[in-house]
Structure 1
Amino acid sequence: MTDHAQYLIQQEPFYQPLHQEVELYQAAWDERLPVMIKGPTGCGKSRFVEYMAWKLGRPLITVACNEDMTASDLVGRYLLDADGTRWLDGPLTTAARIGAICYLDEIVEARQDTTVVIHPLTDHRRTLPLDKKGEQVAAHADFQLVISYNPGYQSLMKDLKQSTKQRFAALHFDYADPDHEADIIARETGTPRDQAVRLVKIAATARNLKGHGLDEGISTRLLVYAARLINRDIAPRLACRMALVDPITDDAEIRDTLYHAIDAVFGADGA
Structure 2
Amino acid sequence: MEKTLIKPSLKPTILKTETQHTNTETPFYKPIAKEIEVFEQAFTNKIPMLLKGPTGTGKTRFVDFMTHKLNKELITISCHEETSSTDLIGRYIIKGAETVWIDGPLTKAVKEGAVIYLDEIAEARPDVIVAIHSLTDHRKELYIDKLGKTIKAHPDFMLVASFNPGYQKGFKELKPSTRQRFIALAFNYPNEKDEAEILINETQIDASTAKKLVAIANKIRNLTELGLTETVSTRLLVDAAKLIHTGLGKRLAVRVAVVEPLTDDIEITEALSDLCDLMI
TM-score after normalising by structure 2? 0.90
% identity of equivalent residues: 48
- Residue from 160, 163, 168 that aligns with 1:149: 163
Stretch deviating more after TM superposition (249-258 or 99-108): 249-258
Residue aligned with 2:218, SS: helix
Query: Which aligned pairs between 1:29-178 and structure 2 lie closer than 5 A?
Result: 29-178=43-192
**3-state SS of paired residue (2:100):** strand
AA of the residue aligned to 2:257 = A
Structure 2 CA distance, aligned partners of 1:91 and 1:176? Answer: 32
Task: Give secondary structure in 1 for the equivalent of 2:226.
Answer: coil
Q: Distance in 2 between matches of 1:212 and 1:248?
A: 11
Q: Which residue of 2 aligns with 1:239?
A: 253
Letter in 1 for 2:117: Y
Could you say if the C-alpha distance between residues 64 and 189 of structure 1 is closer, same or farther in structure 2, counting changes exceeding 3 Å? same
Whether contact under 8 Å (2:42, 2:48) holds in the other structure is yes
Task: Give 1:80 deviation, angstroms.
Answer: 0.6
Show the counterpart of 2:243: 229
Q: CA–CA distance in 2 between the matches of 1:44 and 1:251? A: 27
Tell me the distance in 2 between the aligned counterparts of 1:211 and 1:148: 27
Give the superposed CA RMSD: 1.6
**By how many angstroms is 1:24 displaced?**
1.1
Residue 206 of structure 2 corresponds to residue 215 of structure 1: no
Asked if 2 retains the 8 angstrom alpha-carbon contact of 1:95 and 1:143, the reply is: yes
Unaligned runs of 5+ residues in structure 2 are: 5-18
Which consecutive residues of structure 1, in runs of 5 or more, have no partner in the other structure?
267-271
Among residues 193, 207, 222, which one is paired with 1:193 in the alignment? 207
- 2:142 is matched by which residue type in structure 1? L
Asked if 2 retains the 8 angstrom alpha-carbon contact of 1:9 and 1:54, the reply is: no
Task: Please state if 1:265 is matched with 2:275.
Answer: no
Aligned mates of 1:77, 1:135 — CA distance in 2: 14
Residues 128 and 137 in structure 1, CA contact (< 8 A), matched pair in contact too: yes
Letter in 2 for 1:53: T
Work out whether residues 210 and 216 of structure 1, in 8 Å CA contact, stay in contact via their aligned partners in 2: no
Q: Is the 8 A contact 1:96 1:138 kept in 2?
A: yes
Aligned to 1:269: none
Separation (CA, whole Å) in 2 of partners of 1:82 and 1:105: 35
The 8 Å contact of residues 226 and 268 in structure 2, kept in 1 or not, is answered as no
Correspondence for 1:252: 266
TM-score (norm 1): 0.93
Q: CA deviation at 1:212?
A: 3.2
Among 16, 21, 28, the alignment partner of 2:42 is: 28
Q: Tell me what 2:15 maps to.
A: none
Divergent runs of 4+, >6 A: none
